[in-house]
Homo-oligomer: A and B are copies of this chain.
Amino acid sequence: MNKRSPSLGKIKVNTERLWDSLMTHGQIGHTLKGGLNRLALTERDKQGRDLFKKWCEDAGCTVLIDEIGNIFARRAGQNNHLPPVMTGSHIDTQPTGGKFDGCFGVMAGLEAIRTLNALNIQTIAPIEVVAWTNEEGSRFPPCMMGSGVFTGKISLDEALSTKDDAGISVQDALNQIDYNGSKSHLGHKVTAYYEAHIEQGPVLEEQQKQIGVVVGALGQKWFDIEITGIEAHAGPTPMHLRKDAAVAGAELLQFIHQLALQNSPHGRGTVGCFEIFPSSRNVIPGRVKMTADLRHLDSIVLEAMTQDLYRKVDTLAQKYGLQINISATADFPPISFDSQCIDQVRTAATDLGCPNMDIVSGAGHDAIFMADVTSAGMIFVPCEGGISHNELERAKAEDLGAGASVLLNVLLSAAGVFEND
């Protein structure tokens, strides 16, 4: 049915053009350390949006904006009654973010369209490149706001009324930068969604793979823990009469680390905050405030880890004669990406000769929300040392090019190629 099929799986994007786009776009909001400061819905974000929109229009796309400011650049297909095959990510950044987190996925989508134009390839279904609003959530919590509203996970009204530290609402900010779009585009149907992203972790680099075939995303459970002991003088208080909150806290911290190790490779356990009071070198700590962040790909295992944590808290409270309170503050279930999407990514990477491996996403992405409303998949490329959310974030042009080429072939496979002969 498709005469060009044999070679279609091996089409490559123009890596140099992709890199140039990332570097040119990365001039908007660039920082002295080589990163980006382009918080959502700021003047800099507007400049970034405007440039992306212009490039998409130059590439022949129709650009639509929805009510939460998501930008959709549509390249028409042969049958425009079909819902589009969508790809993209975000162009807002952390206050001290990098040039690749988010931007790579958006520019890879644009580069796919430019390559299709250059090769004069027409798809059956339309292809749409999206730039989701406020993925980072740094200025307006929560994160993944644009895709959250698009997929109905977050209410539009709630999102629009969210205010930043200066008291400016999302609605006001959208109006201010003139990205307050139309209701009719919100939550439109999508055939499939693919997102290319830097890994933001060290696995691909360590395994010397160029492409991560993302099979799912870890579920997350967050906890606040407070341990109350008795503050006392470090000299006159013998060891057996102490109620040292920090000693119990340290044992719990170690336990959380071990719990995740025991549930490798998909377990994570992190104590990111650990404050002790009164914090004086010769006073026995009477109180500890700490956090726990547990993650796993399997919701049953994640629940079992949670139960283990609660049991350990009880055991420690008894062992040390302390009061320990634990409360859950967030709960995101694990997700598995669509098996066909996963296969498409793996096949494209293999056909292109890119060393690849299955991987899970430990962090949140717009694709996770999209997986709830359509078939979705993700493509990871390595970033140096796994460093992200940091001005020092780095990625290699050849890896980014490979990721964009995989994306292009996956898009073609999902949208279908129209042969006019």
Contacts and interface: CB of A to CB of B under 8 A. Distances in A.
Interface of A: 199-203, 206, 218, 220, 222, 232-241, 244, 246-247, 249-251, 253-254, 257, 260-261, 264-265, 267-276, 279-285, 291, 293, 295, 361-364, 386-389
A317 B218 CA distance: 30
A279 B271 CA distance: 9
B238 A281 contact: no
B280 A261 contact: no
A386 B237 contact: yes
A353 to B, nearest CB: 25
Contacts of A253: 246-247, 250
Nearest to A283: B272
A284 B239 CA distance: 31
Contact of A281 (B203, B249, B272, B281): B272
A236 B253 CA distance: 19
Nearest to A240: B264
A249 B274 CA distance: 11
A239 B269 contact: yes
Nearest to A253: B250
Contacts of A200: 233, 235-236
Contacts of A281: 222, 270, 272-273, 291, 293
A284 B389 CA distance: 13
Nearest to A247: B257
A161 to B, nearest CB: 25
Given A234-B293, A272-B284, A275-B279, 20 more contacts: A201-B237, A222-B281, A233-B363, A233-B388, A235-B362, A237-B386, A238-B264, A238-B362, A239-B260, A240-B264, A244-B257, A246-B274, A247-B257, A249-B250, A250-B253, A251-B254, A270-B283, A271-B285, A272-B283, A273-B276
A280 B290 CA distance: 10
A251 B361 CA distance: 29
B267 A273 contact: no
Nearest to A264: B239
Nearest to A329: B281
A240 B267 CA distance: 11
Contacts of A274: 246, 250, 274, 276, 279, 285
Residue among A273, A280, A389 facing the most chain B CB atoms (10 A cut-off): A273
Contact of A238 (B201, B363, B389): B201
